Structure 1
Amino acid sequence: MTDLNALEDWAGPLLRKIEPAGRAKLARTLAQQLRKGQQERIKAQRNADGTLYTARRPHKLRDKKGRVKAKAKMFQKLRTASYLKAQGDAKGLAVGFTGRIARIARVHQYGLRDRIAARGPSAQYEARELLGFTVEDQEALKDLVLAHLDL
């Protein structure tokens, strides 16, 4: 994990020189770029430190006679833009989940205990880092800030 304070210390003085409208536009661009990186990492099934997600528990491949379920990757819908929100304004930027999906993501992010169904049994989930800040993310954000400032 990288240090976000170092990035803020580096970019802060540069960003204060930009007008609020320009900062808002840059923040939206940065948030979208950060979301794209998170989506790619979730698609690759990797934590922010580069390790693979813990595998799912084994499940029945045959539900009914003659039917074989395809093994789907985890978090296919969760990584879409309709669930993974990116926001940016003159004061800052944010990438994250909202509402019911945020609760589900939090359970997986930290490896918490949760109910499988509304009135069903509960299970302990493995920690799978859905949101995290990588060195590649930091470099991409630096490049975007420099490109915006034409340095």
Structure 2
Amino acid sequence: MDDLQRVDDWLAALLANLEPAARNRMMRQLAQELRRSQQQNIRLQRNPDGTTFEPRRVTARSKKGRIKRQMFAKLRTTKYLKTAATANSASVQFDGKVQRIARVHHYGLRDRVRRNGPEARYPARRLLGVNDEVETITRDTLLRWLSE
């Protein structure tokens, strides 16, 4: 634990040497790279831990053939999956009303299928999260900016 604290202090000192504008640009770039990573996970229908999403339920209506649309195709677009960056932080988040839909699917909650329609319990499909790839992207971006 003491080693981790020393590394954290060392990185904080290095980051403090960067100008606030440079830190802001670095965090914006980091947020964009993290968004690309999260979009790819959603496109591949994969949880952050590497497991696949639970497939859609087969109903009498959808029995014929395969489902031609991917889940969350619009949610992963930059219109809804936004980045936010300041000199001290970078984040990727869903925007507006889409947050409710993402929260229901991320945590596996109950929601109405349509307005005044039946309620359904959705399986948990982790849309955003931290994994080894995210840590690697963060480390590489940080080292690239500090070496300049």
Task: Bin the TM-score by the shorter chain.
Answer: 0.7 to 0.9
Tell me the equivalent position of 2:125: 128
Gaps of 5+ in 2: none
1:117 maps to a residue whose letter is R
Tell me the equivalent position of 1:92: 89
Aligned in 2, Cα 1:88/1:108: closer, same or farther, shift over 3 Å? same
Deviation at 1:32, TM superposition (A): 0.2
Q: SS where residue 99 of structure 1 aligns? A: coil
Tell me the equivalent position of 2:38: 38
Tell me the equivalent position of 2:53: 53
Number of residue-to-residue matches in the alignment: 142
Deviation at 1:134, TM superposition (A): 1.1
Q: Please give the TM-score of this superposition, normalised by the length of structure 2.
A: 0.87
Deviation at 1:37, TM superposition (A): 0.2
Q: SS where residue 96 of structure 1 aligns? A: strand
Are residue 78 (structure 1) and residue 75 (structure 2) matched?
yes
Q: Percent identity?
A: 45
Are residue 146 (structure 1) and residue 143 (structure 2) matched?
yes
Tell me the equivalent position of 1:21: 21
Deviations 1:78-114 (A, max 9, x none): 0000000011111211101022100000000000001
Determine the C-alpha separation between the residues in 1 that align with 2:78 and 2:109. Answer: 24
Determine the C-alpha separation between the residues in 2 that align with 1:51 and 1:136. Answer: 14
Aligned in 2, Cα 1:134/1:83: closer, same or farther, shift over 3 Å? same
Deviation at 1:19, TM superposition (A): 1.0
1:50 maps to a residue whose letter is G
2:134 maps to a residue whose letter is D
Determine the C-alpha separation between the residues in 1 that align with 2:117 and 2:12. Answer: 48
Are residue 112 (structure 1) and residue 109 (structure 2) matched?
yes
Aligned in 2, Cα 1:11/1:132: closer, same or farther, shift over 3 Å? farther
RMSD: 2.2
Deviation at 1:138, TM superposition (A): 0.7
2:14 maps to a residue whose letter is L
Deviations 1:26-80 (A, max 9, x none): 00000000000000000010001100000100132379xxxx7852110001000
1:116 maps to a residue whose letter is V
2:115 maps to a residue whose letter is A
